[in-house]
Copies of this chain bind each other. A is one copy, B any other.
Amino acid sequence: MAPKIKRESEKENYSHNKPQTPKDKGEILRIVPLGGLEEVGRNMSYLEYKDEIVIIDMGLQFPEEETPGIDYIIPNITALEPKRKNIRAVIITHGHYDHIGAIPYLVGKLGNPTIYTAKLTKAIIEKRQEEFANAPKLNVVSIEDGYKAKVGQYFELEFFSVEHTIPDSTGVSIKTPVGNIVHFGDFRIDYDEAGEAHGLDVIKRVGEAGVHTFMCDSTNAEEPGRTLSERVIEKNLEILFKSAEGRIILTTFSSMLTRIAEIIKIAEKLGKKVVINGRSMKDNVQISQTMGYIKAKKGTIIPTEEMHKHKDDKIMIITTGAQGESGAGLMRIVNGEHKHIRIKEGDTMIFSSSVIPGNERSVQTLKDNLTRQGALVHQSNIIDIHASGHAPADDLTMTVKLLKPKFFMPIHGYYYMRAANGKNAVDGGLEPENVRLMDNGQVAELTPDSFQVTGENVPAHYIMVDGLGVGDVGEIVLRDRKVLAQEGMVVVIATIDRKNGRILKNPDIISRGFIYLKENQALLDEIRNKIRSIVNRIPRHQPMDPDYLKTLFRDQVGQFIYSKTNRRPMVLPVVIEI
């Protein structure tokens, strides 16, 4: 039976944590998650004490089925903008888009505050910032393991390294007047091949300083067991590489720089030349090389154009496109649109990645095309050639045991993932009543002995980026897109004589996504007749009311089409008065 972890809306919880002596509001630390608590992505939270604010992460969320046509979803900073002068620091935990992606959109609006982050992350966010013409140059302080900084009067930051799939991932302990707030960013436990965990001493040390609240990654909280060792993955990849008789084409997330670095190392060891394909893969590898995270010998990484100079079994192509994204490197190869690379018989295709929910069909199609073109496809559901960057249940429980926080605030993930993480914390010794399952936009008030979620809410609804527009696509537009996608639409245009209310010419009808009208002239004529009869049935003495006419068109033409086809396209009536 699962422990009873209460939602914050349940009353018992408030009473339970009521501080003994209510303090002045000024002496309370507020924690406000703006994103990342009802989704995977869009991670951003802030801490506020008196007139000082520290922000943690500024990520984006990729669009989903419910947001067709959208480029990104970013956090809502309505609550922060008026307080921009109070922002003392922005902490960026690591260089993944769900933690850095909203910086160019938001940092200017927040007064371009100082960003604290590690070296590689700094390089990645600075490079990305350049792509945004109107975004300000970033103020970045480069931090490393053990770096401490006092920011403002009330906050002291202490950074420590955490293990994730990109180098320079950092956790932070924020010393505040109410206690230490610890945030690990995304993390997993680093196991060696023998199953020995590394880096636990760091976690223990952070714990020994005392932890008020642990804000903890929940992405894999539902998965049982421990993290699969990256060493095992590397070993399996090496075995696969050796067994390949032709070229190797490997795809993974371009953000998994730790693994990419290791793959290049193995390739070099096996005497293979490496071709990097896809823009983000090229960018990331280049940055990592410049900064020494990838230490390939000269001549190991070769330009695509030189591939033909080497035998097939000496070639490894590392490419973007593991999710079957249209336009990505692998898709261009498979579709025959790549300038230099085609799939051929004997290629070994390795997916060293998981499939992000929602991308399953694209990946199936991709695998199908690869197999048809003669490649031998390996995926991580058959052998262990991918491990997640997020700690699963047993590791999360262990982390809680080492940290011994007073309060546990699961972040990063849907409610059910965070609820599962609450259970992990309880397994790690926490009292169920000290788990806090918040929603985006909820405001928590912390004293040294309490963590109360108030009834206050700040705006946290989706801000959507679509083309150049930020926030101009809202619910109505999305709803219309979904309706249009289902049954298409029909525009009916009636030109009416203002004087006598009669139809002046044959009604125009345009449809898209409904049925192909050219092949359905009969239906087209029936719709025209319907429009005429609607107009003719209006008594001649009645003044022409175009809005009333539009309503009649919408309802009656819609109903007529439904009766004929069982479909409900969007009907858009236009009345032109002459």
Could you tell me which A residues sit within 8 Å of B by CB distance? 1-2, 7, 38, 64-65, 68-69, 222-224, 243, 245, 357-358, 360-361, 364-365, 367-368, 370-372, 374, 376-377, 381-382, 414-416, 419, 466-469, 472-474, 476-478, 480-489, 491, 493, 495, 504-505, 508, 510, 512-516, 519-520, 564-567, 570, 572, 574, 576, 578
Contacts and interface: CB of A to CB of B under 8 A. Distances in A.
Contacts of A510: 491, 572, 574
A472 B368 contact: no
Contact of A69 (B361, B487, B520): B487
Contacts of A245: 1
A245 B3 CA distance: 12
Contacts of A376: 1-2
A411 to B, nearest CB: 15
Contacts of A370: 416
A245 to B, nearest CB: 6
Contacts of A64: 361
Given A361-B358, A414-B368, A574-B574, A486 B493 contact: no
A516 B68 CA distance: 15
A488 B67 CA distance: 12
Given A1-B245, A477-B515, A564-B468, A576 B493 contact: yes
A495 B372 contact: no
Contacts of A466: 487, 565, 567
Contacts of A377: 416
A367 B414 contact: yes
A481 B477 contact: no
Contacts of A478: 513
Contacts of A469: 515, 565-567
A351 B473 CA distance: 36
B357 A472 contact: no
A484 B512 contact: yes
B513 A372 contact: no
Contacts of A69: 485-488, 513, 567
A491 B488 contact: no
Contact of A414 (B364, B491, B505): B364
Contacts of A483: 512
Contacts of A489: 484, 489, 512
A433 to B, nearest CB: 15
23 contacts: A1-B376, A38-B368, A64-B361, A68-B485, A69-B485, A223-B382, A357-B360, A371-B416, A372-B416, A466-B565, A466-B567, A468-B565, A477-B514, A480-B512, A480-B513, A482-B485, A484-B484, A484-B488, A491-B491, A495-B576, A505-B576, A508-B574, A508-B576
A71 to B, nearest CB: 9
Given A7-B372, A469-B515, A578 B495 contact: yes
Contact of A516 (B365, B467, B476): B476
A382 B2 CA distance: 15
Nearest to A485: B485
A512 B578 CA distance: 25
In order of increasing CB-CB distance, the 9 nearest A-B pairs are: A467-B566, A485-B485, A357-B360, A484-B484, A371-B416, A481-B513, A69-B486, A480-B513, A467-B567
Given A472-B516, A491-B491, A357 B361 contact: yes
Given A467-B567, A520-B472, A578-B578, A415 B372 contact: yes
A488 B489 CA distance: 11
Given A357-B360, A370-B416, A576-B508, A481 B488 contact: yes
B472 A481 contact: no
Given A484-B512, A485-B69, A468 B415 contact: no
A358 B414 CA distance: 18
B65 A361 contact: yes
Contacts of A476: 516
Contacts of A514: 477
B371 A578 contact: no
Contacts of A481: 484-486, 488, 513
